Structure 1
Amino acid sequence: MSVTEDPRVRGIVVACGDAAAGFEEVDDVESVRVPSRPGKAEIDPLLGVHDHLVVSGTDADLAAVVLRLLRKNALSGVSVGFVPSAPDSSVAALWELPRTPLQALALALRGEVDPVPLIRDDVGGVLVGRGLLRLVRGVAYADEQVALRGPASSIEVTPDPGGPGLAVRVAKGTLFKRTTTLYSRAFQIGCIPTRPVSDDVVHERAVNKWTWYRHTEDLRLVRGTI
């Protein structure tokens, strides 16, 4: 089987975890299998060899790979494609990526780079899909705008290409939810202790303050038409 009969094909597939597709059956596709949410030992050796990585895995796997690009100052020199292994991938929904593995692979290998906002947090992590705060109470700001003063059933933060970088959705109420959406470069909250969720990964400890903000460099994501 081949999806690579095109001179624009480039990159290596980084299959994250046992459940991710490695595409060993696809002709001329180079792949490497790494653990879920790979780190320095698995990703850094690839960066001096490849200028395009195709991440096959979950949103959390993609975030782990992108974090290594950030820490190695490689965001400007390495583009990234994504083949989601989960049908409910926030990244795939956000950037309208194909959901079937072979279609996603074809786009990831041959598509056009379209820079998208990369979101960071104040504890050294990145957010590529969806950030979430559940049942939170506190005071929050989206840039200079008051996003919350009191309780909220949830606050969702995602990258947003059409504005300054972040879309912040604040939902209040339980039975009848009322949602307000704000756009900003940064979101910050001081609150009773809560555990933020970034790309489906729950933060290791409860915190009483948290920040998500747009990084100065974009992520060079492949999502343009083939």
Structure 2
Amino acid sequence: MPDTSVALESMPMRHVILNCGVPPLQAAESHSLSAIPTRTELKIINTICKEVLPEDPTPSLDEIAASPNVAHLGAPGPAPQLIDDPLRLIVHGTDAALAAVLTRLMRIDALWAEVAFIPSEESTVAQAWGLPKEKEFAFEAPVKPKPLIRDDAGQAVAHSATISDWDGREITGEIIVDDTVLLHHSARTRNPRKGQYGARLISTFDAPGIEGNRILSSEHPGGFWQKVLPVAPSLIDATAHQGRAMQAGGVNLRITIDGQSRKRPVERATFYRHLRDLQAVRA
């Protein structure tokens, strides 16, 4: 696989820090936003991207989708836009804040922008991306493209998502990764300590883009186990299945992306690889 990292020393770059609910870092250009930025707040990204790239000469998403060439389904690669002064957005905040910024970039089709992350607390993204504690990394490290995963509600996944029962019980439903049935289960009357509680999705660094595992216990089991056991992370099945898409259908499903749950339960959900790759600053 060719090295798709981009050296920064040879090119000028515009760095923009997005401070999300945290004390702002000092920089030439920074903006203070909510802990999880709202759509209105994130309009600043539209303005910045238009300043850097007023018109995108590359094929649109519709044109890519209609093309018989499926190169976009393979190994992730650098953005095709050739920009004299690249843009790097540095998100300073939580995993959920990063996911909100990625969602905005995806929706305005500006994933050519480089994205770095400075976590403000313990972060699964930082751990997965191998981010050091030194903040200079976000400014100086090279880009390493990776697939971007999204759901059918137009939300981007920074690192992980889960499909579970809304009330923390065993799941009733079916979850499929590409053509493989990951889980097919009907909840029992009583909630066991170990059982079928849903699935976890991880956004991988290479094709096909998704890794799915079954969840074998609930963080909030309720009943007897709630009284005798402390709240603990869910048990995850070691057997992983990879694919481009994960689909779920069932009863009373909770969809959680990078620690943030949807506001109401659903009966179905789909996650899949986006047509553009994420230009991530990672180890």
Unmatched segments (≥5 aa) in structure 1? 1-5
Amino acid of the structure 2 residue aligned with 1:16: C
Aligned to 2:33: 34
Count of residue pairs the alignment pairs up: 208
Cα distance in 1 for residues equivalent to 2:202 and 2:275: 16
Aligned to 1:82: 117
Aligned to 1:3: none
- Percent of matched pairs sharing the same residue: 31
Amino acid of the structure 1 residue aligned with 2:20: C
Residue 121 in 1 paired to residue 151 in 2?
A: yes
Residue 108 in 1 paired to residue 108 in 2?
A: no
Cα distance in 1 for residues equivalent to 2:236 and 2:261: 25
Residue 93 in 1 paired to residue 127 in 2?
A: yes
Cα distance in 2 for residues equivalent to 1:67 and 1:177: 29
Counterpart of 2:265 (choices 193, 198, 206) is: 206
Deviations 1:128-155 (A, max 9, x none): 1210123422111100111111152241
Cα distance in 1 for residues equivalent to 2:34 and 2:114: 21
The alpha-carbon deviation at position 10 of structure 1 amounts to 4.4
Q: Are residues 9 and 41 of structure 1, via their aligned partners in 2, closer, same or farther at CA, if it must alter by over 3 Å? A: closer
TM-score by length of 2: 0.67
Higher normalized strand content (fraction of residues): 1
Q: Are residues 21 and 110 of structure 1, via their aligned partners in 2, closer, same or farther at CA, if it must alter by over 3 Å? A: farther
The alpha-carbon deviation at position 43 of structure 1 amounts to 2.6
Aligned to 1:60: 96
Aligned to 2:243: 184
Aligned to 2:71: none
The alpha-carbon deviation at position 212 of structure 1 amounts to 0.8
Cα distance in 1 for residues equivalent to 2:25 and 2:266: 40
Aligned to 1:11: 15
Cα distance in 2 for residues equivalent to 1:111 and 1:216: 25
Cα distance in 2 for residues equivalent to 1:53 and 1:32: 11
Aligned-residue CA RMSD in angstroms? 2.3
Unmatched segments (≥5 aa) in structure 2? 1-8, 53-86, 165-169, 187-195, 219-224, 226-233
Cα distance in 1 for residues equivalent to 2:282 and 2:35: 23
